[in-house]
């Protein structure tokens, strides 16, 4: 009886671990002026946020959008698809206040730590206010864990993210910011 129980438990654990390892995750390619950044999306833990990013990216909404808030050692924020890609918007300081035509997303807080290379959704004070803006962490920031929806990570090209023009100390506002040339699902 005991041997049979061990056998059944072993089969269950093997099956369970195989399912975890075989999970397919979406991959995105972000083109910056410095090079290509390969991003893995966490479709399994933040499915609605990953789907939103893919939908906006594959329709070209992130093309030409600025990294409008970049704080050295902290993060590079982008994704304002409403105001983030015209010179007029930068002069009017409207960048960073817009979203997409889609409704805000319900939070999908998870246990992914906000470490170097993690992508997470920007939001207002309301946990359910993420829309199109996101940020890439330059370093670990555990105070963000389970307070912001981590939805992906850079798997290659972080050295290009590191080169994004930094903003003013404190505010992170960037004059003449670097942009996303394109962001698309990998084929």
Contact between residue 134 and residue 79 where contact means Cβ atoms under 8 Å apart: yes
* 60: CATH: 2.40.100.10
pLDDT, tens digit (0-9, with 9 covering 90-100), for 77-122 = 999 888 766 554 555 455 666 677 888 999 999 999 999 999 999 9
Domain assignment present for residue 61? The answer is yes
SS3 179: strand
For the segment 33-38, the average pLDDT, to the nearest whole number, is 98
Starting at the edge strand that comes first in sequence, how are the strands of the sheet with 75-78 ordered?
69-71, 75-78, 134-137, 118-121, 150-156, 35-41, 27-32, 182-185
% of the chain exceeding 90 in pLDDT:
67
Q: What does the alpha-carbon distance between residue 128 and residue 183 come to, in Å, rounded to a whole number? A: 24
SS3 45: coil
Q: Which domain, by its residues, includes 63?
A: 24-185
Domain assignment present for residue 2? The answer is no
Domain assignment present for residue 59? The answer is yes
Domain assignment present for residue 166? The answer is yes
For the segment 27-37, the average pLDDT, to the nearest whole number, is 98
Q: What is the mean pLDDT of the chain?
A: 85
Question: Among 89-93, 140-144, 162-166, 177-181, where is mean pLDDT lowest?
Answer: 89-93
Q: Total structural domains in the chain? A: 1
């Amino acid at each position: 009886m005991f041997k049979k129980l061990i056998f059944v438990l072993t089969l269950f654990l093997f099956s369970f671990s195989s399912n975890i390892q075989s999970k397919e995750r979406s991959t995105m390619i972000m083109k910056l002026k410095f090079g290509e950044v390969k991003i893995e999306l966490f479709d399994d833990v933040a499915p609605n946020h990953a789907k939103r990013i893919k939908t906006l990216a594959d329709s070209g909404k992130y093309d030409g959008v600025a990294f409008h808030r970049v704080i050295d050692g902290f993060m590079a924020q982008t994704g304002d698809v409403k105001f983030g890609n015209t010179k007029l918007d930068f002069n009017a300081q409207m960048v960073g206040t817009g979203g997409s035509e889609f409704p805000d997303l319900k939070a999908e807080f998870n246990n992914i730590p906000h470490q170097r290379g993690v992508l997470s959704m920007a939001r207002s004070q309301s946990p359910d206010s993420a829309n199109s803006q996101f940020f890439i962490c330059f370093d670990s920031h555990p105070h963000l864990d389970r307070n912001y929806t981590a939805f992906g990570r850079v798997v290659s090209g972080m050295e290009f993210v590191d080169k994004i023009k930094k903003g003013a100390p404190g505010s992170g506002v960037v004059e003449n910011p670097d942009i996303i040339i394109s962001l698309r699902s990998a084929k």
